[in-house]
Amino acid sequence: MRFTFLISSLLVLCLISCKEVANQYEPLVKDGMAWIPSGAYQMGSENSQSRRDETPQHPVQVDGFWMDQTEVTNAEFTAFVEATGYLTTAEIAPDWEEIKKELPPGTPKPHDSLLQAASLVFQATKGPVDLNAYDSWWRWQPNTSWKHPKGPGSTLEGKENHPVVHISWYDAQAYANWSGKRLPTEAEWEWAASGGKQEVLYPWGNEPVNEGAPKANSWEGDFPYQNNVRDLFFYTAPVASFEPNPFGLYDMAGNVWEWCSDWYAFDYYANLKGSEVANPQGPEKSYDPYQPYLKQKVMRGGSFLCNEAYCSGYRVSARMKSSPDTGSQHTGFRLVKDAAFVALK
C-alpha cells in the first residue's frame, strides 16, 4: 500500500513537471483545483499604492500545491453543515469573558444587545462620509449568518453558487479539517494570485480595474454610497463570473476577502528584509500597533466593496487582517492541498 502510494505520488509529480516544461503556466486543473507550480518571487510591493505593511519587498520561494479554483460556495458549505451539524461563529452569542482578554484593561462591558449571535452587514450610506468611519456603512445585525447573509429574512435561494460569507477564520479552519484540505499561507496566496508573473498589480495584469471590460466584482463608483454596478453585481457574484488568471483561478480579486493561515504582523515583512524565505508560514504571533491587544489573521483578495479611493484590496500584494472570530458580509475563503495528497484517477 505504501509503495503504491509512493509510485502514484511520483507519477502525479512527473505529470505536473512535464506539463510545466511544455508550457510553464498552462492551467492544470483536477477536481475543481488548479495546480500552482513552485516558484520564486518578490513578495510585497513598493509602489504608490503600497501600504506600509506591504513593504519592503522580499524574496520568497514556495513549493507547488493545488488550490481551489473558486471560493467555497454556499452549496459546498451547506453540505459541510448538514454532514457535521456545525454552528458558525456568527450563530453563537459572543462570550464577554473571552472578548475582554483581547481588549485594553478596564474596557467596559458593552450593552447586552451587542452580545448576541450576529454579524456585520453592509449598508450603503446616503452620501459621502469619512472613509475612516467604518461604522458609517457596517451594521452589527442580530440573526445574521451564512444562512441569512443580508440579515433576518434573507435566504440563500438562487445563491447556491455564490461564495459563502459571514465566515470567521475558525469556521474556515473547521471546513478545511472536514474536507481534508487546508488554508493557504499568505505567501502561497500571493504567488497564486500573481499567476506566476513578476511585478503585476492585479491577478489579470496591470490594467486598472475600472478600465476595459469588467475584470472583478468590486465597487465601481463613489464608495460607500454610489455603485454604478458596471460589473453587474452590487453584492457577491456567482463564483467564476469573470475570467481566470493564468493559473486557472477565479476571483482572486474582489467578490470576498479570503482567509489565510498566517497570523498578521504589521512589521513581518520588515523583519524578513534581506533574507530569502522558503515556504514562509507567517509570524509566530499577531502584532498590530494600531490594535495592540487584538489577535488577527491575514485576509487577501479584496471584496465587492473594494474601490480605488477606499482600499484597492484587489491588488495582488494588498493585505487585510481581522480577528479570527469575526466574519462579515464580504468574508469567505478557498482552500489548498499539498501535491503529495493528490492521487491519480
Segments making up each domain of the chain, as ranges? 2-341
Q: How confident is the model at residue 111 (pLDDT cuts 50, 70, 90)?
A: confident
Q: What is the pLDDT of residues 40-75, one digit of tens each?
A: 999 999 988 899 999 999 999 999 999 999 999 999
Instruction: Select from 3.30.750.24, 3.90.1580.10, 3.30.2350.10, 3.30.70.1170 the CATH code of 2-341.
Output: 3.90.1580.10
Least confident of 75-84, 99-108, 144-153, 252-261: 99-108
Q: Are 34 and 247 in contact (CB under 8 A)?
A: yes
Q: Is 9 exposed, middle or buried (0-12, 13-18, 19+ CB in 10 A)?
A: middle
**What whole-number distance in Å separates Cα of residue 246 and Cα of residue 27?**
7
pLDDT at 275: 79
**What whole-number distance in Å separates Cα of residue 71 and Cα of residue 163?**
6
Any alpha helices (H) in 180-233, and if so which ranges?
186-194
Sign of the Cα torsion 281, 286, 287, 288 reads: positive
* Across 169-192, average pLDDT: 98
Across the chain, what does the average pLDDT equal?
Answer: 90
Name the nearest CA neighbour of 193 among 313, 311, 306, 284: 313
